[in-house]
């Protein structure tokens, strides 16, 4: 939820500056939002990796097998948690700049397009561990895809920034 709050705060700033063709501000806001989201998910990652037993015990304190299995599953499923902040904020960037199809595809890539097939295929080869592995595989795949798209977009912004600078009259430079 904090990441969605970061998105809600960054989206109008990115959208406004994109529309005003102030691409340096767009990039700066995107970097700041990604950094803030990364901090949030890294804290979550550290907690889930260091104290998974305690987290599982909050829901069931009586079954040691469940606690052991749940802790193992939590560690595996959230293995790529640190990249999720980047993926969510970067996918939202496309929404902010008026590219809803890109944003929708990237958002769905993590939770639907990659996760569901992983949940259907991996258990056939790895059993229960395959179910746990579906999360990190989905997170990694969607983050790689998002990274490729956002890098392409940043290069485009840099090109636009150069073109905007060239259009400014010499007296205003």
> What is residue 96's predicted lDDT score, i.e. its pLDDT?
95
Burial class (CB in 10 A: 0-12, 13-18, 19+), 152: exposed
Query: In the chain, what percentage of residues exceed pLDDT 90?
Result: 88
Residues 27 and 157: beta-carbon distance below 8 Å: yes
Summarize the confidence of residues 49-76 as an average pLDDT: 95
Summarize the confidence of residues 36-53 as an average pLDDT: 96
With bands split at pLDDT 50, 70 and 90, how would you rate the model's confidence at 158?
confident
Residues 134 and 120: beta-carbon distance below 8 Å: no
Span between the terminal Cα atoms of the chain, in Å: 43
Distance CA 95, CA 89 (A): 10
Q: Under 8 Å CB-to-CB from 157, ≥6 apart: which residues?
A: 23, 26, 27
Distance CA 71, CA 57 (A): 9
Residues 24 and 161: beta-carbon distance below 8 Å: yes
Summarize the confidence of residues 99-109 as an average pLDDT: 95
Summarize the confidence of residues 93-106 as an average pLDDT: 95
- Helices and strands (H and E) in the chain: how many: 8, 0
With bands split at pLDDT 50, 70 and 90, how would you rate the model's confidence at 93?
very high
């Amino acid at each position: 939820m904090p990441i969605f709050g970061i998105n809600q705060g960054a989206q109008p700033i990115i959208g406004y500056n994109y529309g005003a063709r102030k691409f340096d501000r767009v990039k700066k806001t995107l970097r700041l939002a990604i950094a803030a989201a990364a901090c949030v998910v890294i804290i979550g990652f550290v907690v889930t990796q260091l104290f998974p037993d305690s987290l599982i015990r909050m829901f069931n304190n009586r079954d040691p097998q469940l606690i052991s299995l749940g802790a193992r599953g939590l560690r595996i499923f959230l293995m790529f948690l640190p990249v999720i902040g980047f993926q969510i904020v970067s996918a939202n960037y496309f929404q902010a700049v008026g590219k809803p199809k890109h944003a929708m595809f990237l958002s769905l890539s993590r939770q639907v397009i990659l996760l569901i097939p992983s949940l259907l295929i991996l258990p056939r080869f790895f059993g229960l561990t395959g179910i746990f592995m579906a999360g990190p595989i989905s997170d990694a795949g969607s983050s790689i895809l998002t990274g490729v798209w956002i890098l392409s977009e940043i290069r485009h912004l840099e090109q636009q920034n150069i073109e905007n600078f060239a259009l400014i009259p010499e007296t205003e430079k």
